[in-house]
Amino acid sequence: MTESTENTASKSFIHEIVEEDNQTGKFEKRVHTRFPPEPNGYLHIGHAKSICLNFGLAQDFGGKTNLRFDDTNPLTEDPEYVDSIKEDVRWLGFEWEGNERYASDYFDQLYEYATDMIKQGKAYVDDLSQEEMRKYRGTLTEPGKDSPHRNRSVEENLDLFERMKNGEFDEGSRVLRVKIDMAAPNMNLRDPVMYRIIKAAHHRTGDKWNIYPTYDWAHGQSDSIEGITHSICTLEFENNRPLYEWYLHNLEIFHSQQIEFARLNLTHTIMSKRKLLKLVEEGVVDGWDDPRMPTLSGLRRRGVTPEAIRNFCDVIGVAKTNSVIDYALFEHTIREDLDARSPRAMAVLKPLKLVIDNFPNDQVEEFEVDYYRHDKERSLTRKVPFSREVYIEQSDFMEEPPPKYFRLSPGREVRLMNACLVTCTDVVKNENGDVVEVHATYDPDSLGGQAPDGRRVKGTLHWVSAAHAVDAEVRLYNHLFDRENPDDTEEGEDFLSAINSNSLEIISDAKVEPALLNDRPDERFQFVRSGYFYVDRENSEDEKLVFNRVVSLRDSWAKQQKRQ
């Protein structure tokens, strides 16, 4: 383990806050968190950080966690997203308290709260256009101006608000605003909007409503209604906290404690759902669960385990300042997880035929090889057939090898892993002069892979018997974005300009050992020298397997750490 992975920050500053609240009895020692996604897209690795934090905190303190959909905007939300979010949270290994909740469950209550605010003289219907409202709002350095409609009577406001609800007015013609202070230094307190007119059907409330609460009006009250003790959100909401507290205070309802933490950012990755949706809609990727997507469904399809994601969230910890995590650290965590659990097997990604001329034509040797030879605690063997013709990697042969090349070349002896020693005798070339077949002889006394006289053989090659090989398609993935920060764009460009055109390489004629076809001990393998792979069952056929490479073997994170 490298230094940084030992530093598991399971005790975050948020733990300390909760501990203190328990000591002072602030919430009668209750710990009730929630994970509040808006169902307008699939969950991504950033959400996983929030999920692990919210559910983890409740687990650590014997508390509860709600899953609440913040479904206040009918224009972007969809039941497909609701279903995927539930599936992903469960896949990550968490179960929420009772049924899932919805902000839309509280629309009636929120409407009542709003009416209450009007009656208190603390909310008013405004007729300014969006553009005018923006002008009246002022700037960070200049106070805003009161709207001419700010002093409407309670009766008029109640009447107009009810008629907004009943659909009497056009979209954009009126809003309900809270009356706080148009000169407040915190712009969020300059009479923000509570309700806007949206004449669209909602996925749960249908046509009942012509007005919808803003996120800011709905969020804190939803927390309050559910009795959430610690309402954890990302740093952008720090300046909204005074507004949320203002609402709770003036409504005189239960007061949750908001705590902000730094969102997860990863190099070569975007996390905005709006942008991820664009990738899907423009066909840049093959759906939300494309294995190149940072979505949980994409990572799942690629072969990443929920344990790896939870470990990653542990390793990065929870902080109060924004930072960008190196994608290599994420891969490092995935590799550590897969290294421990994955059986080893042989696959040749780019095959070159090797003919062993002195091996009898019809003879088949079977070697008993342990899938878990890396793991003393486990053992499971399979038979690996060996015959006169085998496939080796094209990169494992060079006709004119440079110095320090220890693999196969004319006259050179190497070991075929677990099988025998072979010496290259000849090559066959096509009309372009490319080597298309290599010939060799084997040492019959070396069967099993050991040199009979203990002579040193430097190179060891993996291989697959040609007659027994199973065809495989192998999909290798690279970063979806070339640039470390895809949003770091030149003028006139958007994040799509950072797309890596080589993010997917498909190898359609790979060869894997036959044991993987039917009696697979696992769905994930380490293929010697090429990485960790996951069987894509959906796309595999009876006679042909499809593998996704989850991650290569090259650990650039560990290397980086060593250099430092």
- Which residues are designated catalytic? 38, 263, 273
Choice between 110 and 232, CB closer to ligand ATP: 232
Q: Which of residues 97-136 bind Mg ion (CB under 5 A)?
A: none
Interaction between residue 179 and ligand ATP (CB under 6 A): no
Residue 264: both structure tokens together:
């997860």
Residue among 38, 87, 100, 314 that touches Mg ion (CB under 5 A): 38
First vs last C-alpha separation in the chain: 15
Min dist. Cβ of residue 459 to ligand ATP (A): 45
From 104, 54, 55, select the one nearest 79 (Cα to Cα). 104
CA dist 318 and 336 (Å) reads 21
Min dist. Cβ of residue 194 to Mg ion (A): 17
> Quick one: CA torsion of 288, 289, 293, 297, rounded to 10 degrees?
110
Near ligand ATP by CB under 6 A, which window of 268-276, 317-325, 475-483, 503-511?
A: 268-276
Choice between 36 and 343, CB closer to Mg ion: 36
Interaction between residue 271 and ligand ATP (CB under 6 A): yes
Choice between 137 and 263, CB closer to Mg ion: 263
Residue 264 contacts which entry, ligand ATP, Mg ion, none (Cβ below 5-8 A, type-dependent): ligand ATP
Residue among 264, 280, 318, 420 that touches ligand ATP (CB under 6 A): 264
Residue 302: both structure tokens together:
């690629």
The residue nearest Mg ion at its CB is 38
The SS3 call for residue 95 is coil
From 81, 97, 18, 79, select the one nearest 47 (Cα to Cα). 81
Interaction between residue 47 and ligand ATP (CB under 6 A): yes
Q: Which residues lie closer than 8 Å to 467 by C-beta, 6 or more apart? A: 364, 385, 387, 389
Choice between 217 and 397, CB closer to ligand ATP: 217
Name the helix (H) or strand (E) containing 242: helix 241-251
Which amino acid is residue 283, in one-letter code? G
Choice between 38 and 286, CB closer to Mg ion: 38
Interaction between residue 37 and ligand ATP (CB under 6 A): yes
From 101, 98, 97, 99, select the one nearest 37 (Cα to Cα). 101
Min dist. Cβ of residue 556 to ligand ATP (A): 23
CA dist 85 and 296 (Å) reads 9
Interaction between residue 50 and ligand ATP (CB under 6 A): yes
The residue nearest ligand ATP at its CB is 46
Q: Which of residues 54-83 bind ligand ATP (CB under 6 A)?
A: 70
3-state DSSP percent of the chain in helix, strand and coil, to 5: 30, 25, 45
Q: What are the phi and psi torsion angles at 308 (to 5°)?
A: -60, -40
Interaction between residue 273 and ligand ATP (CB under 6 A): yes
Name the residues that contact Mg ion, by CB under 5 A: 38
Q: Which residues bind ligand ATP (CB under 6 A)?
A: 36-38, 46-47, 49-50, 70, 233-234, 263-264, 271-273
